[in-house]
Amino acid sequence: MTLTKLQLRSLKVYLGWHTQPPTFWVLARSSLRSWLALAVVAGLGYLVVESGYPEAGWLVIGIMGGAFLRDIGRYRVLLKVWPAHDDVTDWERVKSVLEEQAGTTKNHG
């Protein structure tokens, strides 16, 4: 089985969560760059409000706020379903796949 970089990174994160379950703050910290980008765009939206186009500016601010709240909601759901996911995942298989992939990468890299 050949995994993509995203799949590999996700499995490594999940394996880490198996021993140390995720918290809201761990998830939030992983989103700081994205949230900074949302804040910058929301700030630009505020400049648009102040420059005489309040409808457009508030639309931008609302969209950025909605994206932020969507992230919070997804993290809350993840934290609620993680115990079930952790319980049904075959962690030995995950370790095996990661080790196999690491060996493949070393042989071809």
**Rounded to 5°, angle at Cα 19 from 17 and 22:** 30
**Rounded to 5°, angle at Cα 74 from 61 and 60:** 10
Check: pTM over 0.75? Answer yes or no: yes
Query: pLDDT tens digit string along 12-59?
Result: 999 999 999 999 999 999 999 999 999 999 999 999 999 999 999 999
Evaluate whether 64 touches 45 at the Cβ level (below 8 Å). yes
> Which pLDDT value is given to residue 105?
59
> Which pLDDT value is given to residue 102?
84
Which of 83, 66, 99 has its CA nearest to residue 58? 66
> Which pLDDT value is given to residue 107?
58
Query: pLDDT tens digit string along 44-102?
Result: 999 999 999 999 999 999 999 999 999 999 999 999 999 999 999 999 999 999 999 88
Query: CA 79, CA 66: separation in Å to the nearest integer?
Result: 20
> Which pLDDT value is given to residue 40?
98
